[in-house]
Amino acid sequence: MSAFRTLGWLDRFLAVWIFLAMVVGVLLGNFVPETASALDKGRFVGVSVPIAVGLLVMMYPILCKVRYEALHEIMSHRGMWKQILFSVIMNWIVAPFFMFGLAWAFLPDKSELRAGLILVGLGRCIAMVLIWTGLAGGHGEYCAILVAINSILQMFLFAPLAVLFIRVFGHSSDSLDISYSVVATSVAVFLGIPLGAATVTRFALRGLKGAEWYERVFIRFAAPWSLIGLLYTILVLFASQGHRVVHQIVSVVRVAAPLMVYFIVIFFLTLWVTHRLGFGYALAATQSFTAASNNFELAIAVAVATFGANSDQALAATVGPLIEVPVLLGLVYVAKLVGRRFSWK
């Protein structure tokens, strides 16, 4: 039986469901005027409550699959520190500088959009990267460790790097007062809550019902909710921003172009380097999606808190996930094709 036939209907047609979620979201945002205001009424750490709920639902089942009981063994491997060092270089040196260059190359006359784009490049992903890695057949435990490290670094590095890239390197005259508390709270909520809940769930249920029951019954029940949460989040994102995206289409297209270049180039650069370094497919896929993915919820929260919800900086940050989701979904299929084509183990 082919691998495609072994997938459930949700996984099998994920590209179709995501496309439908985007289309329905844009239609709602444009033809139901009160949609955007209704979705934006309540805010939680700078992000609308409906989006926050979707992100938490999306992450919890994935984190329930992580073998926390085996992490100490993985961390003791000498190769783990090589993975961490490589990830830090790609995520905190290569990716931000590349996005900075793209922002200036594509938006030399639009300082506000440029600033929003730079914020997207600085936010290292702590949510959807777990989904992309899982779909591509990456290493779940390594991904969880890299996400945790990026989360800690993000709390300390995001604010000073934003000032460095936007004000110092970018010679921007705009006042830029990015609060450390906004960054730390966003990371704590969108990683801390689902991670804490998943850890308690895993150890409690495995202790009460056994490891076999946990994997066979609970994970089988919980797993689809990750993709349901993803589809819901995408629908809400496109619905809340659909009207603005359509009516500011020129700005959206100008921001979308460098984003597409960024995601594709960073992904393939990381994949090529990891192959040259002799990484296995699972680790290479994990590193590639970790480097190419971005923390859009943090970028949006910081842009809104710093520049205002109706600013061009917030618009640029919002365009991030609208481009990232379809591009990285496509790269999931590309990664699996490359792995099969070259028998990459």
Is residue 115, in this structure, part of any structural domain at all?
yes
Rg of the chain on CA atoms, in Å: 19
Q: Are 239 and 25 in contact (CB under 8 A)?
A: yes
179 Cα distance to chain centroid: 21
Residue 238 confidence class, pLDDT cut points 50, 70, 90: confident
Range of the domain at 85: 3-339
Is residue 306, in this structure, part of any structural domain at all?
yes
- The pLDDT value recorded for residue 262 is 97
- The pLDDT value recorded for residue 259 is 96
Structure tokens at 245: 């995206």
Task: Say if residue 213's pLDDT is above 70.
Answer: yes
- The pLDDT value recorded for residue 2 is 43
Among residues 126, 113, 128, 119, the alpha carbon closest in space to that of 234 is found at 128
Q: Which residue has the higher pLDDT, 94 or 297?
A: 94
Among residues 263, 296, 274, the alpha carbon closest in space to that of 95 is found at 263
pLDDT tens digits, residue range 139-154?
988 888 898 888 888 8
- pLDDT average, residue stretch 27-48: 81
Q: What residues are paired with 47 via a beta bridge?
A: 44
Q: At residue 342, what are phi and psi to the nearest 5 degrees?
A: -105, 10
Burial 27-60 (b: 16+ CB within 10 A, else e): ebbbeeeebbeebbeeebbbbbebbbbbbbbbbb
Q: Are 285 and 335 in contact (CB under 8 A)?
A: yes
Task: Say if residue 233's pLDDT is above 50.
Answer: yes
Rounded to whole angstroms, how far apart are CA atoms 250 and 296? Answer: 21
Burial 293-331 (b: 16+ CB within 10 A, else e): bbbbbbbbbbbbbbbeeebbbbbbbbbbbbbbbbbbbeb
pLDDT tens digits, residue range 255-299?
999 999 999 999 999 999 999 999 999 999 999 999 999 887 778
- The pLDDT value recorded for residue 6 is 44
Rounded to whole angstroms, how far apart are CA atoms 304 and 288? Answer: 29
Q: CA angle, 51 as apex, 263 and 66 as ends, to 5°?
A: 70
Residue 91 confidence class, pLDDT cut points 50, 70, 90: very high
Rounded to whole angstroms, how far apart are CA atoms 140 and 338? Answer: 19
Structure tokens at 253: 């297209």
Structure tokens at 8: 């459930």
Is residue 345, in this structure, part of any structural domain at all?
no
Is residue 176, in this structure, part of any structural domain at all?
yes
Percent of the chain with pLDDT over 70: 92
Among residues 157, 120, 165, 135, the alpha carbon closest in space to that of 294 is found at 120
Task: Say if residue 335's pLDDT is above 50.
Answer: yes
- The pLDDT value recorded for residue 11 is 66
What's the mean pLDDT when you consider all of the chain? Answer: 85
Q: How many of the other CB atoms lie within 10 Å of CB of 210?
A: 12
Is residue 319, in this structure, part of any structural domain at all?
yes
- pLDDT average, residue stretch 300-316: 78
Count of domains in the chain? 1
- pLDDT average, residue stretch 87-116: 94
The CATH number that applies at residue 207 is: 1.20.1530.20
Residue 180 confidence class, pLDDT cut points 50, 70, 90: low
Q: How many of the other CB atoms lie within 10 Å of CB of 193?
A: 15
- The pLDDT value recorded for residue 70 is 77
Is residue 22, in this structure, part of any structural domain at all?
yes
Is residue 344, in this structure, part of any structural domain at all?
no
pTM of the model: 0.81
Task: Say if residue 218's pLDDT is above 60.
Answer: yes
Is residue 116, in this structure, part of any structural domain at all?
yes
Q: How many of the other CB atoms lie within 10 Å of CB of 345?
A: 7
